[in-house]
């Protein structure tokens, strides 16, 4: 985010990222042990572009809306919190590790920040399903699928972020 970002500009970027998260969540690939979708890619990229507050809002709201629209409304409150947590943690870890804050690429910092953010997702959904949904240890069955979801988010998010970083499009959207 640059000093030239107005609140209106920032709000518009946040809305676009939320829409990308929502649309990306609809794009799912079924697997034998669950499925993965593209939503987390945009949650991570949104965090790195918008910062912890706006990135968390975009990721949480976009994913929550997807849950509601796809018929998983019981997951919507948890998704709002968990996806916002992914963005906040990924941003915090990336900025802590990438102290240079220069145009130099710091892929290891980006990968580690994405891993930490996605750990929030895997752990968050496990706790939600075990405690709040009442599945107990049965919630462990969703962990492998959530790990695949995390891997898709990490790989896709890092590839897109690194491709955008340093070019005009990346500067325009504020990619760090």
The pairs formed by 111-115 with CB atoms below 8 angstroms and a separation of 24 or more are 111/154, 111/158, 113/89, 114/44, 114/90, 114/153, 114/154, 114/157, 114/158, 115/150, 115/154
Residues of the chain with pLDDT under 70: 1-5, 34, 100-105
So what's the pLDDT on residue 98? Answer: 83
What tokens were used for 71?
A: 């018929």
Tell me which residue of 129, 127, 107, 122 sits closest to 176, measured CA to CA.
107
What pLDDT sits at residue 106?
82
Domains in the chain (CATH in brackets) are 7-173 (1.10.1760.20)
Tell me what pLDDT residue 3 has.
Answer: 52
The pLDDT value given to residue 82? 98
């Amino acid at each position: 985010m640059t000093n030239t970002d107005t609140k209106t500009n920032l709000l518009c970027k946040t809305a676009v990222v939320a829409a990308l998260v929502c649309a990306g969540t609809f794009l799912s690939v079924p697997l034998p042990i669950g499925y993965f979708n593209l939503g987390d890619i945009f949650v991570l990229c949104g965090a790195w572009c918008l910062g912890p507050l706006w990135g968390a809002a975009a990721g949480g709201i976009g994913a929550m809306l997807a849950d509601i629209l796809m018929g998983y409304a019981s997951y919507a409150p948890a998704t709002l919190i968990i996806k916002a947590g992914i963005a906040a943690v990924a941003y915090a870890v990336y900025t802590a590790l990438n102290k240079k804050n220069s145009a130099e690429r710091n892929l290891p910092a980006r990968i580690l920040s994405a891993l930490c953010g996605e750990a929030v997702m895997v752990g968050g959904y496990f706790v939600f399903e075990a405690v709040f949904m009442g599945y107990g240890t049965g919630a462990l069955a969703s962990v492998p699928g959530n790990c695949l979801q995390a891997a898709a988010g990490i790989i896709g998010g890092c590839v897109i972020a690194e491709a955008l970083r340093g070019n005009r499009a990346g500067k325009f959207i504020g990619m760090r």
